[in-house]
Structure 1
Amino acid sequence: MELLKQKIIEQGVVVSDQVLLLDAILNEQVDPELTMEMGKAFAAIFKEEGITRVVTVESSGIAVAFATAYELGVPMVFARRKKTLLADPDSYVERVPSFTKGIVTDLLLSRKFLKADDRVLFIDDIIANGDAAKGLIKIIERSGASLSGVGIVVEKCFQQGAKTLREQGIRVESLAKIASLEGGTVHFAE
């Protein structure tokens, strides 16, 4: 997706050869036009899959997942990272490490919003090691729902997350693939 690549070059900040900061377009500030275009792109990619629900992990995946769900005309559900007083006590829970946060957190997703007959599309902002994705996929599997695919805004190809999911037979589609961040520069794959 050329618009996304352009925004990454213009507004992304390479922190190290492992970390790309995208807070100006995905994580702290959301670019509405870009977000809606990403939603349209994911909806077009997965339109033949009969998706009934789009899922994501809070918080950075929510905007793109919402745009995708809107385009597909289905509900969007997100897994929380923290239990609150109002959280549904009957939730699926999976413990996962976070590459960017450097901590282990719980993913919680209410059972009432994920059913065995759902065809699920998982959307996320960035995939590095894929730990959050693996955790949410375990939740989807436990629910009995079927995972139709995973849509990733930015895939860091030099880390193993997306590759590991593909090796498990999971369809992973990424809008931008980064081959490396060496020398403080974003190098796109393909």
Structure 2
Amino acid sequence: MEKLKQRIMEQSSILSNDVLRMDAIINHQVDPGLTMEMGHEFANRFAEHGITKVITIESSGIPAAFATAYVLGVPLVFARRKKTLIADPDVYIERVPSFTKGMVTDIMVSKEFLSSDDKLLFIDDIIANGDAARGLIKIIEKSGAKLAGMGIVVEKSFQAGGRTLREQGIQVESLVKIASLDNGSIQFE
């Protein structure tokens, strides 16, 4: 998506050779028009997969996942990172490290919202090492649901996440791939 690349160049900042801050685009502020374009693109790439639900992890993945679910006409389920007082006690849970947050958290999905009849499309904002993605994939496997594939807004292809998931046979579709952040410069694939 050329428009997304342009916005990354204009509105993101490089914090290190591994970290790109995209708060003005997808992580803190959201452009609804651009987000809906992302949803249409993901829906087009997975149109023939018989998706029954879109799934993501809170919170930055929710806008793109919502747009995709809306276009596909299916529900959106998101893994929570924090248990609330009214949360369902019967959940699938996995402990996952977060590259950008620098900590380990639990992600959980109520068993009520996943079944063996579901064919899921996993949408996320960024993939770096893929730890959170692998955690959600474990939850999907526990539920008996099928993973149709993954849509990633920005893949940092210089990190192993997307590559290792593809090596496992998972269809990973990224809207933008960043090959390097070295020397304070964004290099796209």
Q: TM tier, shorter chain?
A: over 0.9
Aligned residue type for 1:117? D
* 1:79 Cα deviation after fit: 0.2
Q: Structure 1: give runs of 5+ residues left out of the alignment.
A: none
Partner of 1:179: 179
Q: Secondary structure at the match of 1:25?
A: helix
Partner of 1:111: 111
**d(CA) in 2 for partners of 1:28 and 1:5?**
18
Deviation string 1:90-118 (CA, Å, 9 cap, x unpaired) is 01000000000000000010111111100
Partner of 1:37: 37
Aligned residue type for 1:137? I
Partner of 1:144: 144
Deviation string 1:34-80 (CA, Å, 9 cap, x unpaired) is 10000000000000000000000000000000000000000000000
Q: Secondary structure at the match of 2:163?
A: helix
Partner of 2:17: 17
Alignment of 1:1-190 (within 5 A): 1-189=1-189
**d(CA) in 2 for partners of 1:140 and 1:149?**
12
Percent identity between the two aligned chains: 70
Q: Secondary structure at the match of 2:46?
A: helix
What's the TM-score once normalised by structure 2's chain length? 0.99
**d(CA) in 2 for partners of 1:106 and 1:87?**
14
How many pairs does the alignment contain?
A: 189
**d(CA) in 2 for partners of 1:105 and 1:87?**
16
4+ aligned runs moved over 3 Å, structure 1: none
RMSD (CA atoms)? 0.5
**d(CA) in 2 for partners of 1:187 and 1:49?**
32
Q: Structure 2: give runs of 5+ residues left out of the alignment.
A: none
Q: Secondary structure at the match of 1:122?
A: strand
Deviation string 1:148-170 (CA, Å, 9 cap, x unpaired) is 00000000001000011001011
Q: Secondary structure at the match of 1:140?
A: helix
* 1:84 Cα deviation after fit: 1.0
Q: Secondary structure at the match of 1:136?
A: helix
What's the TM-score once normalised by structure 1's chain length? 0.99
* 1:4 Cα deviation after fit: 0.6
